Structure 1
């Protein structure tokens, strides 16, 4: 697994989460490093939440028939023309309400996730705790990309 992070300080968190290799900085131009690490073949899948900053490189980092799972425009919405896509890749944009369409499905899936947490098989990384009155600061820290993991607002 190859992880991409925005700052040197986030490399340890990516390794703890299971990345074998961690690339810095995250942004356009990382596809050459991915190809080196995969002996020129490219990645099977790229999970991309970077938006326009990583969209093209994510596609160029893929092997033929690779999957670009684009899950969010964190840094802007990319423009897309089908003829700009590399040959023979798959692009998907998963939307949560298609995978969890009902309240019952949400309750079931969250129950499964919390069961994994209780059983010690999944450990969420808590990146910080903020008083509810400091929600604006938590949001600013998140936007500035100074955080890793989940941020908790505590009443």
Structure 2
């Protein structure tokens, strides 16, 4: 009998139960996938804790994974059984098998294994929309990326460096400094111990950055705005330390006519043509070797509670992949 993680009430890691489930056949526009690798992301914690609400309880968390197509529903022409696929904006992926909308799935090209695919879809596509679609990083730009040793950070800093930017990264602990440097950071700041806005001013000769990418939230706001030059972009895409709740829009005027945005991957990938374009861009930089996908931890799906405890404790670097 197939297994999945089920959450019957919001709470800590202990609310996740490893249970037998029934997997239905794919409906119109859907495919059924036997998963070989499951991506783990901070958004999974937001859903488990109830910060983000699931459509109903109980539910199976997870948005990311890779595997092999088992069967396809009515009207699906782009995929057939036996093909390797991956996805970063599905739902219910903490499972052996999953039925998902074909519109959120892409084929995995040769040369990219399933662990890499499962680790790169949500984080890699997030990086793609941040660096290429939200603020388009240009050669010569100076960027600040918070949590540079995290899952998105280690992909984004390599990609930004590849695009010709000077990359300033912040990390939460001294043991993450070397890792951030190895993945493209020209400068690394310990944001809990140092005044990172002052350090950014010093590094940039008082000019500031074109863009700040912030997946940390509460702990780095509003100081992130002080890192920007006039007309700079503050891009908040996550809340690892808690959400930015009070946002006074007048701050943007005071700090230099700044732009601020809170994009999500789901809005970008809702358009199939855009998803294909983003995935092609991601696969190209990975296959060329310009961006390496760091999978630093592997675990069994049955051990999801421990995986979440490590991630929430901000003990992890790079990507974690679970195997059914």
Q: TM-score, normalised by structure 2?
A: 0.45
- Structure 1 CA distance for aligned equivalents of residues 211 and 293 of structure 2: 23
Aligned-pair CA distance for 1:28: 8.3
- Corresponding residue SS for 2:256: coil
* Pick aligned residue for 1:75 from 223, 235, 241: 241
Matched, 1:99 2:265: no
- Corresponding residue SS for 1:36: helix
1:1-155, aligned counterparts within 5 Å?
A: 1-26=167-192, 29-78=195-244, 79-85=246-252, 86-155=255-324
- Structure 1 CA distance for aligned equivalents of residues 286 and 250 of structure 2: 43
Asked whether the 8 Å contact 2:219–2:242 carries over to 1, the reply is: yes
Ranked by relative contact order (alpha carbons within 8 Å, sequence separation 6 or more), the top structure is: 2
Give the ranges of 4+ consecutive aligned residues of structure 1 lying more than 6 Å apart after TM superposition: none
1:19-49 CA-to-partner distances (Å, cap 9, x unmatched) read: 1000013488310010001111111111011
1:49-82 CA-to-partner distances (Å, cap 9, x unmatched) read: 1111102111011111111111112212221011
Structure 1 vs Structure 2 CA RMSD: 1.9
1:82-141 CA-to-partner distances (Å, cap 9, x unmatched) read: 123323111111222332223454345334423432332321111211111111111111
Single out whichever of 100-109 and 69-78 deviates more from structure 2: 100-109
Asked whether the 8 Å contact 1:128–1:150 carries over to 2, the reply is: yes
Larger Rg: 2
Aligned residues: 155
- Which structure features the higher share of helix residues? 1
- Structure 1 CA distance for aligned equivalents of residues 283 and 230 of structure 2: 36
